[in-house]
């Protein structure tokens, strides 16, 4: 079991039993997937970055990806050492890792959070918006629907997922908490 650090692109890892009611932090440019009902996954610091939270309530498998940038073409070498930094390399790995633990695409709840922007941030410089567009494009291409999203604005967000029941709590700076 591994709780942090990067993961090679051709591998995945998951959190198995052995920890009782623990919070596991998903860092920036990081992903965690688990089928341990005692675990809550948490990711902080979602500014322009995007957090994708997935959960299958039948298989009781959940995961969070926290990526920073839309496209790996900016640095393919980096995408190999840390695929979770980019939408196009991180999102497929999130789903594949959940499938390996028994999750099924048609049962999965998918929540997308983050993609904020600095005020007046337009065009190509608007990384939050570009992250969101990349997410929608990849999910749409793979026939995955977004069940809930809390996107944009100038907020900082935190998200928690309880693996046992799929309860997701989103904390939005200056606005309080939302439960999905």
Q: How far is CA 94 from each of CA 11, 21, 173, rounded to the nearest angstrom? A: 11, 22, 26
| 32, 50 Cβ separation under 8 angstroms | no
CB of 136 to another protein, least distance (A): 19
Beta carbon nearer to another protein, 19 or 28? 28
The footprint of another protein (CB under 8 A) covers 4-5, 27-29, 44-49, 68-69, 74-75, 78, 82, 85-86, 116-125, 127-128, 153-157, 173-174
Handedness of CA 37, 101, 44, 131 (dihedral sign): negative
DSSP letter string over 69-86?
BS-GGG-HHHHHH-GGGB
CB of 37 to another protein, least distance (A): 28
CB of 153 to another protein, least distance (A): 8
CB of 48 to another protein, least distance (A): 4
Beta carbon nearer to another protein, 109 or 129? 129
CB of 46 to another protein, least distance (A): 6
Structure token pair of residue 104: 């099924």
Beta carbon nearer to another protein, 37 or 153? 153
Beta carbon nearer to another protein, 127 or 144? 127
**C-alpha closest to that of 30 among 101, 99, 81:** 81
Strand order in the sheet with 176-179: 22-26, 39-46, 157-162, 168-172, 176-179
Beta carbon nearer to another protein, 57 or 156? 156
C-alpha span between 132 and 135 (Å, rounded): 5
């Amino acid at each position: 079991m591994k709780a942090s650090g990067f993961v090679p692109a051709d591998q995945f890892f998951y959190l198995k039993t052995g920890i009782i009611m623990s919070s596991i932090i998903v860092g920036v440019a990081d992903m965690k997937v688990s089928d341990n009902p005692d675990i809550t996954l948490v990711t902080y610091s979602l500014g322009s970055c995007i957090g994708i939270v997935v959960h299958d309530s039948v298989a009781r498998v959940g995961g969070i990806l926290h990526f920073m940038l839309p496209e790996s073409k900016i640095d393919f070498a980096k995408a190999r050492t840390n695929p979770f930094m980019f939408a196009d390399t991180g999102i497929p790995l999130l789903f594949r890792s959940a499938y390996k633990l028994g999750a099924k695409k048609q049962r999965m709840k998918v929540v997308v959070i983050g993609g904020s922007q600095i005020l007046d941030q337009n065009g190509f410089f608007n990384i939050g918006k570009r992250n969101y567009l990349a997410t929608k494009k990849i999910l749409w291409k793979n026939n995955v629907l977004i069940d809930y999203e809390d996107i944009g604005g100038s907020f900082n967000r935190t998200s928690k997922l309880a693996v046992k029941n799929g309860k997701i709590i989103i904390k939005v700076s200056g606005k309080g908490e939302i439960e999905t």
